[in-house]
Structure formats: structure tokens, C-alpha cells
Structure 1
Amino acid sequence: MSGDLLDRLAEKRVVICAGSGGVGKTTTSAAIAMGLAARGARVCVVTIDPARRLADALGIEQLGSVPHRVDAGRLAGHGITTNGQLWAMMLDPKRTFDELIEGLAPDAATRDEILDNRIYRELSGAVAGSQEFTAVAKLYDLERSGRFDVIVLDTPPSRNALDFLDAPDRLTGFLEGRALRVLLAPSGLAARVVGRGTAVIFSVLGRLTGVDLMSDLKVFFAALSTVLDGFRERATAVKALLADDATTFLIVTSPEREPVAEAIFFRDKLREARMPFGGLVVNRVHPLADEEPDADGEVDGLDAPLARKALRTLAELRALAARDAAAIDRLRRAVGDDDPVIVPHLAGDVHDVDGLVAIHRHLFAVGDERARLLSEAAF
């Protein structure tokens, strides 16, 4: 597998960045989108991260639930010439779920009946898998729209990101589950339970709250039954998109023990699900220099005590670099990527366009330039 990120992303229309929390997925996603836009593509980067990191990094005051075009002039001021287009958006799962209902409802009356129902308003934000399902549903809509050449998706931490793989099945499984079928059309013992016990409970709640929950439930599930076929079709289409050859998963990690274990775990799950794997990006690496430093206690321009402190610090950094090298070797073997993309540890927190440009430079470096940048950062 080539270490050239452009080779890995060639002909890809969907790039999903997944990995452990705190390893730089958001900035990596934005830097990848920036790099592809700089090379002429129309790119949209989508995040479901509630933090403002992506908006801050791109210099956008506020990201919304629709794509927002990043000012090319702002990026040019930081040395990035954008020959394509860079767009960004923050996913609003609740709004996306509403839009899905609007698109699947057979008519305006059914649409309003569902959207205005208080059961739906509570359930749409709480159903297990709804956030993950709406994320890939939005991904599907953006890809189908034809507006963009590439969509880059930033995901939540990896064990949650796994929910993307089975979210379509889990959501439709819930909507078609036995409990809901009993509420929609109870029979036998279930009819007696629903008809007597449940009715008594809802009657008491109705007197206490003034809300007719049983009526709301009946209206909601009756209306929902009209869009179930649409959910099934969308779930099938979403699963096909995730497994498509034009989609790729990039696993983003750092050399620390827990993120490494998460990266290996996620790679195993991708194998099990037969999802396309595009490679590994290892952030915050301390590269190890080939030569040992001179440890005789003398450093030009420094007195002996200060020189010894500097050499101790260098030795500690080299020990850290050796640990990182061992972690990368483990990742190579377990993940199956012989030449992962390496981004060295950068000074300070990456929270602005300058930091994003620095990450972009390492992500897209090739050949001698890649080796030079890693050598300059080595200890």
C-alpha cells in the first residue's frame, strides 16, 4: 500500500475518517479536504463533532447543517491555492432525520402528522443508531446530489464509529421490531395487555399531564408505517454506499497504547464487515533520528550544567520516539499497512488555519519531501 495519500484516495468519492477520540480526526479530515480542494476537486467535509474545532480551523464563524463554502482567499493567505472548492458542514442529526421523513412521506399531511407528533419529536433524537444512520443518510444525499467530487466524513470515536457499519440494519430493525408491531396491531394476549393495562397507565398519565399519550402513539405508528418501505430502501442504499469501491475508510490514530489498540480493533471490524480500507494515518509521532546524539556533556554555546539538562531532555525525547517507532511497527503488522501516512508531533494545539496547513503539508508530502519533513522533526 502506497504511503502517498493521493494514491490512496484516487477515484474515491467518499472518505470516512475513523479512530479513537483525541487523535486529531477532525483536523485530519479538514486537512484532507483542503488538500483535495487544492488539487482541483469540489470537496465537502462533514463533521458530527459537537466541538468548534473544524469551524475554528477553517476560519468559519459558525458551521451549520448545510454546506458552507470556505473562502478561498483566506486559505490563499496561508499559502494554499484552492483550484477546486472547499465546503464544510456540521451535521444536525435531528434536522437530518426530519428531512429524511419529509422525503419519504407519501404526502404533506402524513409528513406533518409525523413531524408534529410529540412521540416522534422525542424518539427521533433518542432511537439507538439514529445519529449514525442520519450521518450516513446525509452522506448518501450529498453523494447523490452531484454537487461534490469528494465527501470527507469526520466521525465520533471509533467504538461509536462502528455503529456506522450496522446503523441501517439496527434502525430498520427497531422500526420493524416486535414491540412496535404489537403497538401497531396487537392481538391475543398482547391485545388484552395493551388494551387494559397499558390503557389504564396512559389514562392515569393523561389525567396527570393533560397529554393523551395513547392517542399520540397510535397516530405516530400509523403514520410511521407509511414510510417503512422508504426506510428499508434507504438503508439498503446506505449499506451499498459504505461498501462501494468509491468509498474508503481511513483509520486515524496516534502512537499511544489505547489509540493503537482502538485502531487495530476498528481494522478488525472493517475486515469482518468487508468494508474498504484505505490506510492508516498516524498523528503526533515523534520521529526517531538515525544517529545517536553526542552524549559527552558538551553542547556548543551552553555551559556544562545546562548542556547536561539539554542532553537529558533529548534522551527522553528519543526514548519517546523509540516508543512511537515500536507502536508504528505494531500497527503495520496488525493493520496491514506497510507504509502508513505519518504526521509528526507539532508544537502547540492545532486550532487554526496555520495548524491545518502544517498537517496538510505532511499528509500530502511524497518521496524526498516526505522524508525531509520527517527528518527535520526527528530526535
Structure 2
Amino acid sequence: MSTLDLDALIDDPQTRIIVTCGSGGVGKTTTAAALGLRAAERGRKVVVLTIDPARRLAQALGLTELDNTPRAVAEVDPANGGRLDAMMLDMKRTFDEVVLAHATPAKAEQILANPFYMALSSSFAGTQEYMAMEKLGQLHKQAERTGEWDLIVVDTPPSRSALDFLDAPERLASLLEGRFLRLLLAPARGPMRLMSAGVNLAMSVMNKVLGAQVLTDVQTFVAAFDTLFGGFRERADKTVALLREPHTAFLVVAAPQNDALREASYFTERLRAEKMPLAGVVLNRVTTTHVPELSAERSLAAAEKLEEAGKSELTAAVLRLHADKMQQVVSDRKRADRFHRGHRSIPTVDVPALPDDIHDLTGLRTIGELLTAS
């Protein structure tokens, strides 16, 4: 197994974007925040884009409310001119910014007030992933223009599948450019009498299924949004190209559970197929013990002897807890070893599980040290 050297990655000035990805609940956000903090305190000018962080982690970063603008993180101890800004993605506000930036004021006002747009920008599957990439593109442009950051760390959204982050731009762009919405646009482009019998029939069916008001809202949205369709595809293509650049590094984060490791395997293969730069895998929250020489079997046997003798119930209970933990240690190690054997060419770092949640910068520094321990 090749060891992942994350200090070398964040210290390299050629590394301009780090993307943490993986299935939900594996610690992507904490990993991204810890790496951003460590990079800043080693001299980099960093902005971390987080997606829905836990309340304690948000407070550790000084983000007490949802904010779509990078803010300086308090109490950072920068070296050599380093700095750390952080922000949380506001999906709808980012979508609104795209509309305001690329539509005329009159069109923008019409789109933003449209009920179908409100639903699309707030709850459509894949919108959060797409807007994370839109925001990444915005931050990259700003960094190139102003020089205020030399490293962007992106925490990908908590999706059912890790692959959603790569698939969402294509899916949303296809929806906005698809035949269904183009069909809905037909009445706005010409009199109904000029439409084919097939289109008339389709519109009649949709009117019955969706309802007249919903169909009208969708048609109004499509008509107003028509000039922006091509821009979504163009920006999606540019962001995907940005992710393929050598200055980008993907970190796949997984936990030692079968589902998470399976997702990590799929994602590493997908990144290779898409020719995207995979830096390595962070195997997070691996169960460890300070007494590895005391096996679960020996611990249980000792507990049973104490219980049979009627002695030290507290010690017996502690031994049983240790036995449970050792069983988890062995299970985690087996799954981790199996993953390592199947991905020998991919640099990996194992990060032990901590007993408590991270709720301050000291905790993030601890995670940073564990991520970079050789």
C-alpha cells in the first residue's frame, strides 16, 4: 500500500483545488475543513466551500448561519501569510446569482418570481451538486482575478451516491435543454394552429396530468429561461474541464463499512475513466485500541472468570466493552486490508476514529495531524 502524503499535497503551490468526495456520512466535511485549516496555518491562502456542515463544525469555523459569501475564520494561526476563509453553499442563492448574472433585469425578475423556478432551484434532484460546481467555478474565477486565494477546498454534497457530484451537471443541463422543456416552449414560440397534431395531443395530455396552472408556470419559466439554456451546458463543460486540470486533486473519503468502501471503489474507477486527478483515499473513522494485545477472546474469558467468582463486576463490564471494541477493530481492519489489496496503486491514509465530535479549531487541528501522520 502506498501512503498518501497530504502535507506534500497541500504544501505544493501547484495544487489549487482539492475536492473531497465519497458517500454520505463518512466525514467529507470534517476532512475538508481540517485540510483547509492545516494548509492555511502552513502558509496557503485557502477558501473552504462546505456543504451542510454539522452545527458544531460550522461553529468551529465561525459560520453561525448559512452564508453564500466567504468569511474569514477567526482564531486561525497563519504562518508565512496564510489565511483561511470559509463558506457554506446556499443552493438557491447560487442559482439566483446565475440567473441575475446571465439574464436581463426584466427576464431575471420574471424567472425568480416563477413558481416552477422556485421548486427547481430549491428541491430538484441534482441541483445542489450542480450549484456546488457553479460556486467552485465562481471561486476559481475570483481567485484568478484577485489572487486572494491560492487553494480552494471543496466538500461535495451529502448524496445517496458519491457519483452524483460528477453526474449532476450533465443531468441538470440535459433537463434544461431537453425535448420535454422544448416541447413546453412551443406554444410560446408560435400559434397553436401551426403546431403539429402530435404536439397538440401531447400538450392536451400534459394539461390534464399537470393541471393548467402548473403547465402555464412551466411554460412561462421555459420562455423566460430560453436564452440561458446554452450557458448551463457551457459552464458545466468548463467546470468539468477545470476538474481534469493537473492543479486539481480529488480525495475520496470512505469509512471502513462495506457500503462506503464499495462507493469509494466505484468512485476511484469513475475518476480514472473520466481522466480526473485522483490524489488518494482517506479511510476515515477506523476503530483502534490502546490495548491491541488483549484480544476479544481473552477479554471475554477474563470477564467470565470474574463473574463466575463473583468478583469485580465493574472490571468484568470493562472487559466486555473492550471485547466489543476489539471485535470492531478486527472487522474494520479486515475490511480496510481488503480494500487496500484491491487498490494497491492508490495512495491511502487511515485515520482513527475519535471518541467525540469535532466542535472547535483544536479538534480540526487534531484531525489534520491524524490525516498527515505517516
TM-score (norm 1): 0.80
Instruction: Note the C-alpha offset of 1:279.
Output: 0.7
1:94 partnered with 2:92: yes
Q: 1:13 touches 1:246 (CA, 8 Å); kept in 2?
A: yes
Shift of 1:160: 3.4
Q: Would you say the 8 A contact 2:76–2:84 is kept in 1? A: no
- The answer to whether 1:124 aligns with 2:124 is no
Q: Structure 1 residues 62, 158: CA separation in 2 closer, same or farther (over 3 Å shift)? A: closer
Code of the aligned partner of 1:220: F
The 3 A distance-change label for structure 1 pair 86 and 104 is: same
Q: Alignment partner for residue 332 of structure 2, among 307, 324, 336?
A: 324
Give the secondary-structure state (helix, strand or coil) at the position aligned to 1:226. Answer: helix
CA distance in 1, matches of 2:260, 2:204: 52
Partners of 1:8 and 1:279 within 8 A in 2: no
Structure 1, unaligned runs of 5 or more: 207-211, 298-303, 371-379
Aligned to 2:307: none
1:12 aligned residue (7, 11, 15): 15
Residues in 1 aligned to 2:258 and 2:214: alpha-carbon distance in whole angstroms? 49
Q: How many residues align?
A: 349
Structure 2 match to 1:373 = none
Distance 2:8 2:24 in 1: 26
Which amino acid in the other structure matches residue 189 of structure 1?
Answer: A
> 1:174-253 to 2 correspondence within 5 Å?
174-185=175-186, 187-193=195-201, 196=204, 213=214, 215-253=216-254
Counterparts of 1:102-121 in structure 2, within 5 Å, are 102-105=100-103, 107-121=104-118
Residue 283 of structure 1: how far off its partner (Å): 1.9
Q: Which residue of 2 aligns with 1:154?
A: 155
2:73 aligns with 70
C-alpha RMSD of the superposition: 3.2
> Which residue identity is paired with 2:92?
K
CA 1:178–1:138: 2 relative to 1, 3 Å: same
Task: Output the CA distance in 1 between the equivalents of 2:118 and 2:346.
Answer: 48
Q: CA deviation at 1:166?
A: 2.1
- Which one-letter code corresponds to 1:280 in the other structure? V
Give the aligned partner of residue 130 of structure 2: 133
Matches within 5 A, 1:267-278: 267-278=268-279
1:46 aligned to which of 42, 45, 49: 49
SS of the equivalent of 2:156 reads strand
**Identity across aligned pairs (percent)?**
42
On the 8 A contact 1:19/1:25 being kept in 2, the answer is yes
Shift in alpha-carbon separation, 1:189–1:335, aligned structure 2, 3 A:
farther
Q: What is the aligned partner in structure 2 of residue 374 from structure 1?
A: none
Deviation per CA, 1:121-143: give whole Å up to 9, x if none.
22222433222111101011101
**Is 2:28 aligned against 1:25?**
yes
Equivalent position of 1:34 in the other structure: 37
Q: Distance in 2 between matches of 1:244 and 1:163?
A: 20
Q: Given residue 85 of structure 1, which amino acid in structure 2 is its aligned partner? A: R
Describe the superposition over 1:16-65 as per-residue Cα deviations: whole angstroms up to 9, x where unpaired. 11123322222111100001111111111112226424312324422411
Contact 2:6 2:371 in 1 (8 A): yes
* Contact 1:75–1:82 (CA under 8 A) maintained in structure 2: no
- Does the aligned pair in 2 maintain the 1:165–1:273 contact within 8 Å? no
Give SS of 1:160's match.
coil
Instruction: Measure the CA separation in 2 of the matches of 1:45 and 1:144.
Output: 15
Q: Is the 8 A contact 2:23 2:161 kept in 1?
A: no
Distance 1:225 1:284, change over 3 A: same
Deviates more, 1:17-26 or 1:312-321: 312-321
Q: 2:341 aligns with which of 333, 336, 344?
A: 333
The gaps in structure 2 that reach 5 residues or longer are: 188-194, 303-310
* Distance in 1 (alpha carbons) for counterparts of 2:62 and 2:335: 34
1: CA distance, partners of 2:315 / 2:209: 78
Whether the 8 Å CA contact 2:102–2:228 is kept in 1: the answer is yes
Q: Which amino acid aligns with 2:7?
A: L
